[in-house]
Chains A and B, each alone.
Chain A
């Protein structure tokens, strides 16, 4: 019976923990910040260069150290401003990187899930630097866009909660610190 009671208590504390973690989304300094982004045109194609400062907090870092793969997603939307109504999304793209720790070689490996190319780094910050840098990212063919209107690009970088292992995913639904995301960053397309 005592055992039973103990288990009930444990269940209760688990639930309470979930609830508190839900409530305790303290407003701390954002971990993901896009510092710069800019679009340029070359050979009738728009390209995007962007830089983000990515920092993993303790939870995610230890998850990574413990073999959990993290998927980083860049969400990019080409927008047409619409005055007083919601802006129109003309196109949306995303590019994804998977970051894993390889204990054998003691390296961090970054897989570009779009291209399948992978790189490995000695340090986490190098790996994050790699992920936080978009270079010559082809956005859209100029011919697809109507010429006259002003356009801009919204982008952000985040950790994909859906790609977390399921138990963590439940947490991430309740606790936003498990799925950090940058604010949307806007830059002119032209």
Chain B
């Protein structure tokens, strides 16, 4: 319904035709008011028709207004502009229409009033009175004459009556004379014209008047415009007659008034009547003129209203389309095109708009393509990064972690996603390796070098990790920051070390063991050959010397064997053992030495651990032996072995701490840096291999070892082992190397 109404209200031509038709109707109406002959009979229908059209127009206008306001509220493109323009149109059309209406009313009133004039009215009244009195004079005159004539008829012989009546008629110049008897019977008549065979009878009203006043004289309308004068007078009875009974005879005289006078009188009466009618009709006439005028006004106003709506819509249609198009473009629909066929400025605007959207669309396509390409490249890079074995981390200029690849997660032993967007300086201990990494690289980041490379050793849930970290400054144009490349080289370094040990052993075997046997053999041969020839002191010297040589060579040989044993260490054989029991069994061996206090403090929580028990025993041997050697000179030598479970802050990566402490002299500060290096010994006859082996075994277990001096006395060696032992693949790798 509403749709239909809108549809209809926006149709232009039917309404224009209707308005034109109504205009014609109004013209006819006004015509009818002035000339009731032609359209007078249709006036009512014209009125109805016009009223209907006005109603229809009013409905159209109201529908338009409602529609516009609705659009305005809905903020349709251009609705408010249209409303405003329509308002301007309405104002422009209303003012002249109302001015014209007001003036028309005024002119109408003045015009109608100008028809009436007191002087004209008076003149017409006077003319009527004059005509009436002149006619009355004539009537009176004729009455007198007729009365005289009636006297002459008094008492006349009935036989001479027609003749006498005829002569009297001619004398009186009457058109007709009739004599009535006492009972209204016609006694005689004399007519002027032959056509009138039957005398005209006096009307009852005349007879009544006659009965009352004994005479009757009046002007009577005859056929058409003609007037006649009827006079009734009694015929006096003859003077000699005495029998006066009832009434007397009655004479009727009829005088025609000549055509000219009749016409004049009729004209005066007509004019008078017309004028009176006009005066009487003044107010109704004003009303009907006002009605017509109001219809015209309403028609104009409503048409103007409607037209202004239509016009406003028409005029603003390109603007509305433009607004709509711009809105759609703003919403991203760059396919929007305007109709550019018009040849005016609007067409130019439309063409420019189309060109603009075309360019915009082109530009957007271009960016889209570039973006897709970038995306592809990024995806590519992402894949590369994901499959890259080194970990890659990017930090921005504030050392906020931006990205990290899966390898970085693996190396740093935790998913790094949760740390994205956080300043690494703010992440605490619980972030484990990430935190250690940051502490290690922080000075390099601060130094802000172009590229740098450091090796670092981190201790995490799976033990020691040796990393090579390369850093590069990101270009300032992309916001600065750093990219870190971390490589887990633990396995590599172990392998390198092992290879180095093998080399040492091989060279020892080659360079030292080989000459040893000939030295021994030569010394024995010297003794066998020379002993029989030497006696006494010389013989003893020889024996002592050759014994010393042989003994020293044997010692050397043992040393070399120890080296090659160390180098050719059997493969790791990790197995699950009760760690405390293992430690206890080693400590037990040393309890036999009575002059030393050896204590073991196990931590019940340690439980089962995956280690190589032989290597662990060797490690403990080396440490306990060193401790005993260190504190042997003390008056109350005391060695303490302890195990302890250390849980990291985040509760996840725990490790087991094994410590061996003594109350010896401690370790000089200058020894610390080279403590765990092979061949570093500060003891007479020391090989310097003890701690090197310890370190090697700890490394094979992915653990960490360090030494410290006690608070008051002695040294303390601490070994940290990953609590959950070795990862299987690490075991394998270790086994191979």
A interface residue numbers (CB < 8 A to B):
3-4, 7-8, 10-11, 14-15, 17-18, 62-63, 65-68, 100-107, 109, 118-122, 126, 162, 165-171, 173
How far, in Å, is A51 (CB) from chain B's closest CB?
A: 18
Partner of A107, one of B221, B275, B290: B221
Interchain CB contact under 8 A, A170 and B280: no
Question: Please, could you name 12 A-B residue pairs with CB atoms under 8 Å apart, sorted by A?
Answer: A7-B105, A18-B287, A102-B221, A102-B269, A102-B273, A104-B268, A105-B221, A107-B220, A120-B220, A169-B44, A170-B287, A173-B47
How far, in Å, is A164 (CB) from chain B's closest CB?
A: 9
Q: Which chain A residues border B220 with CB–CB below 8 Å?
A: 105, 107, 120
How far, in Å, is B216 (CB) from chain A's closest CB?
A: 11
* Stretch with Cβ within 8 A of A (4 or more), from B32-40, B337-345, B366-374, B672-680: B32-40
Partner of A66, one of B41, B44, B128, B279: B279
Q: Which chain A residues border B33 with CB–CB below 8 Å?
A: 166-167
Partner of A167, one of B102, B281, B294: B281
Q: Which of B102, B106, B275 has the most CB of A within 10 A?
A: B102
How far, in Å, is A43 (CB) from chain B's closest CB?
A: 25
Confirm or deny: B319 has a beta carbon within 8 angstroms of a beta carbon on chain A: no
Q: Which chain A residues border B288 with CB–CB below 8 Å?
A: 166-167, 170
Complex: A119 Cα to B41 Cα, angstroms: 28
Residue of B nearest to A17 (CB): B287
Confirm or deny: B550 has a beta carbon within 8 angstroms of a beta carbon on chain A: no
Q: Which chain A residues border B221 with CB–CB below 8 Å?
A: 102, 105, 107, 109, 118, 120
Q: Which chain A residues border B274 with CB–CB below 8 Å?
A: 67
Q: Which chain B residues border A167 with CB–CB below 8 Å?
A: 33, 281, 284-285, 287-288
Indicate the size class of the contact surface on chain B.
35 or more
A66 with B276, Cβ < 8 A, contacts A105-B220, A107-B221, A170-B43 known: yes
| B255-290 contact mask (Cβ, 8 Å, vs A): 1 or 0 | 000000000011011001111110111001111101
Complex: A8 Cα to B131 Cα, angstroms: 44
Confirm or deny: B567 has a beta carbon within 8 angstroms of a beta carbon on chain A: no
Complex: A120 Cα to B224 Cα, angstroms: 12
A104 with B132, Cβ < 8 A, contacts A68-B277, A109-B221, A167-B281 known: yes
Complex: A125 Cα to B32 Cα, angstroms: 34
Partner of A67, one of B223, B227, B280, B291: B280
A-B pairs, 9 with minimum CB distance: A167-B284, A66-B280, A67-B273, A67-B277, A166-B36, A67-B276, A104-B269, A167-B285, A66-B276
Confirm or deny: B205 has a beta carbon within 8 angstroms of a beta carbon on chain A: yes
Q: Which chain A residues border B285 with CB–CB below 8 Å?
A: 167
How far, in Å, is B265 (CB) from chain A's closest CB?
A: 6
Confirm or deny: B219 has a beta carbon within 8 angstroms of a beta carbon on chain A: yes
Interchain CB contact under 8 A, B291 and A168: no
Partner of B273, one of A3, A15, A103: A103
Complex: A10 Cα to B287 Cα, angstroms: 10
Complex: A35 Cα to B221 Cα, angstroms: 31
Complex: A102 Cα to B131 Cα, angstroms: 13
Partner of A3, one of B106, B135, B218, B290: B106
Complex: A167 Cα to B203 Cα, angstroms: 37
How far, in Å, is B53 (CB) from chain A's closest CB?
A: 18
A63 with B280, Cβ < 8 A, contacts A7-B102, A103-B128, A104-B268 known: yes
Complex: A62 Cα to B280 Cα, angstroms: 8
| B100-142 contact mask (Cβ, 8 Å, vs A): 1 or 0 | 0010011001000000000000000000100110010000000
Q: Which chain B residues border A171 with CB–CB below 8 Å?
A: 284, 287
How far, in Å, is A76 (CB) from chain B's closest CB?
A: 22
Q: Which of B109, B273, B279 has the most CB of A within 10 A?
A: B273
Interchain CB contact under 8 A, B281 and A168: yes
Complex: A118 Cα to B221 Cα, angstroms: 9
Q: Which chain B residues border A121 with CB–CB below 8 Å?
A: 205
Interchain CB contact under 8 A, A165 and B106: no
Interchain CB contact under 8 A, B281 and A104: no
Residue of A nearest to B39 (CB): A166
Given contacts A14-B290, A104-B132, A166-B40, 7 further A-B contacts (CB under 8 A): A8-B102, A67-B275, A68-B280, A104-B135, A105-B220, A120-B221, A169-B36
Partner of B43, one of A8, A10, A169: A169
How far, in Å, is B203 (CB) from chain A's closest CB?
A: 8
Complex: A85 Cα to B277 Cα, angstroms: 46
Q: Which chain A residues border B43 with CB–CB below 8 Å?
A: 166, 169-170
Q: Which chain B residues border A100 with CB–CB below 8 Å?
A: 273
A105 with B227, Cβ < 8 A, contacts A126-B205, A166-B33 known: yes
How far, in Å, is A186 (CB) from chain B's closest CB?
A: 29
A67 with B272, Cβ < 8 A, contacts A120-B221, A167-B281, A167-B285 known: yes
Complex: A183 Cα to B43 Cα, angstroms: 26
Interchain CB contact under 8 A, A11 and B290: yes
Q: Which chain B residues border A166 with CB–CB below 8 Å?
A: 32-33, 36, 40, 43, 288
Interchain CB contact under 8 A, B277 and A66: yes
Interchain CB contact under 8 A, A105 and B41: no
Interchain CB contact under 8 A, A14 and B269: no
Q: Which chain B residues border A62 with CB–CB below 8 Å?
A: 280
How far, in Å, is A99 (CB) from chain B's closest CB?
A: 13
Complex: A8 Cα to B106 Cα, angstroms: 10
How far, in Å, is B215 (CB) from chain A's closest CB?
A: 16
A103 with B272, Cβ < 8 A, contacts A121-B205, A167-B287 known: yes
Complex: A129 Cα to B643 Cα, angstroms: 149
Complex: A122 Cα to B207 Cα, angstroms: 12
| B37-62 contact mask (Cβ, 8 Å, vs A): 1 or 0 | 00011011001000000000000000
Residue of A nearest to B285 (CB): A167
Complex: A101 Cα to B44 Cα, angstroms: 28
Complex: A92 Cα to B532 Cα, angstroms: 191
Interchain CB contact under 8 A, A122 and B205: yes
Q: Which of B47, B265, B284, B286 has the most CB of A within 10 A?
A: B284
